[in-house]
Amino acid sequence: MQNIPHIPVLYREVIEAFESINDGFIIDCTMGYAGHSSMILEANPNIKLIAIDQDQTAIDFSTQRLEPFKDRVEIRKGRFSSVIKDIIDEYDISNIKGVLADIGVSSLQLDQKDRGFSYESDTLDMRMDKDAPLNAATVVNEYSKSELETLLLEYGELRNYKKIAAQIVANRPFRSAKSLSDALKQHMPRGKKIHPATLLMQAIRIEVNDELGELKSLLQSIEDAKLPDAKVAIISFHSLEDRIVKQTFIRWSKSCICPQEAMRCACGNNHSLGKIITRKPLMAKDDELKENVRSRSAKMRIFQMDSYE
C-alpha cells in the first residue's frame, strides 16, 4: 500500500452528499491523492468517476491508488476550468450526476519544500502544474508595485498592502519563499493560530494558479450546462472562495432574476436551477478536527440541480 500523503477533509460529509447516486458518473475536479475519489468509488459501486488534477505528481500517485477501480475511472490532467468544458462537450450531460471540487492545495504540495508553497520553502514557485507559465518568482520579482498592491489587497485582504508591496519592491529580487516571508514577517498581521506570512503566501498562490478565476469558471460551466439532477459539492478553505460559492448558489436558486428595483416580475419567474442543500456550510466535527488540522478551515456547500421536467 502506498503511503497516503493527504487526509481528505469532510470525508463523511462528501460520502453522504453523493450516497444517493446509483448510476452515471461523478466528476472529482480536484483528485489530489484520490482520498475522496477512492471513497466515492467504494461507496457507490455502480458509478463511474472522472478525476481531474493539474499536478503530475498527484496524477502519478492516484493512477496507482485507483488501480483497483480502473474499469470505473478516467483520469484527466489539466485545469478543471477547461477539462470540465471538454467533459460536458464529450458526454451526454444527463449522465453527469455529481461534481465535487475540494479547492486549494494538497498537504503534499504544502509539505514539499521544492514546490514553494510553504513559507519555509527554498524556492519561489507555487505552481500546482509545474509546466504552467506563471510562477511565484515572476509575480514577486517582476510585477509592478501597483499590481502587487492589488493582489495583496484582493487575495490576501491585507490592510497594509501598500507598505508590503513597497517592501517587496525595495528588497527584491527574492529567490525563496523563506527569504520573502522572513523579510516581510514584521509587516504582517499577527494571529495566534497562523504564521504571519500566511496571507502573503495565500495572495501569491491565488494569483499564480488563478484560483478564483478557476472556481468562477467551473461554476459558470456548470450553470451554462445546467446539468439536470446533478449534485454539486464545493469545499473551500478561505472566505474569498466561500463567498463566490455562496453567492453563486443563492443566484442559482432564484426563480426571479429581475433587478431588485423592478416593480413587477418581467423575467418569467422560471430561472431557478435547483435548490441549496446546505443553508450553512458543512464544517469538520471535533473528531475530524483532532485528526486533521487542515480541516479546521474547510467549508462545504452543496447544491442540487433541478431535473427540469
Ligand X SMILES: C[S@@+](CC[C@H](N)C(=O)[O-])C[C@H]1O[C@@H](n2cnc3c(N)ncnc32)[C@H](O)[C@@H]1O
Alpha helices in 135-176 (DSSP H): 136-142, 145-154, 161-171
Task: Count the Cβ atoms, other than its own, within 10 Å of residue 67.
Answer: 9
207: amino acid identity, one letter: E
For ligand X, give the closer residue by CB, 40 or 152: 40
Burial of 241 (C-beta count, 10 Å sphere; 0-12/13-18/19+)? buried
Reported in sequence order, the residue ranges of 90-129 that DSSP labels E, i.e. its strands, are 96-102
Of the listed pieces 19-27, 49-57, 118-126, 198-206, which binds ligand X according to CB under 6 A?
49-57
CB-based burial, 35-58: b 16+ in 10 Å, e otherwise: bbbbbbbeebeebbbbbbbbbebb
The verdict on 69 binding ligand X (CB under 6 A) reads no
The verdict on 6 binding ligand X (CB under 6 A) reads yes
The verdict on 79 binding ligand X (CB under 6 A) reads yes
The 191-230 contact track toward ligand X, x by CB under 6 A, reads -----------------------x----------------
| Closest by Cα among 202, 193, 204, 196 to 296 | 193
Task: Count the Cβ atoms, other than its own, within 10 Å of residue 29.
Answer: 24
For ligand X, give the closer residue by CB, 56 or 247: 56
**What are the residues facing 74 on neighbouring strands?**
50
C-alpha cell at 184: 516581510
For ligand X, give the closer residue by CB, 102 or 207: 102
Give just the sign of the alpha carbon dihedral 289, 291, 293, 294: negative
Positions 13 through 32 that interact with ligand X (CB under 6 A):
30, 32
The verdict on 288 binding ligand X (CB under 6 A) reads no
Rounded CA-CA distance 157/241 in Å is: 13
The verdict on 102 binding ligand X (CB under 6 A) reads yes
Measured from the CB of residue 42, what is the shortest distance to ligand X in angstroms?
Answer: 13
The verdict on 55 binding ligand X (CB under 6 A) reads yes
Rounded CA-CA distance 56/272 in Å is: 38
For ligand X, give the closer residue by CB, 24 or 104: 104
Measured from the CB of residue 291, what is the shortest distance to ligand X in angstroms?
Answer: 14
Measured from the CB of residue 6, what is the shortest distance to ligand X in angstroms?
Answer: 5
The verdict on 302 binding ligand X (CB under 6 A) reads no
- Interface residue with ligand X, options 10, 21, 27, 52 (CB under 6 A): 52
Give just the sign of the alpha carbon dihedral 131, 133, 139, 141: positive
For ligand X, give the closer residue by CB, 86 or 267: 86
The verdict on 118 binding ligand X (CB under 6 A) reads no
Of the listed pieces 90-98, 102-110, 168-176, 265-273, which binds ligand X according to CB under 6 A?
102-110
The verdict on 125 binding ligand X (CB under 6 A) reads no
For ligand X, give the closer residue by CB, 63 or 141: 63
DSSP 174-188: --SHHHHHHHHGGGS
Question: Which spans of this chain sit near ligand X (rule: CB under 6 A)?
Answer: 6, 8, 30, 32-36, 52-55, 58, 79-80, 102, 104, 106, 128, 214
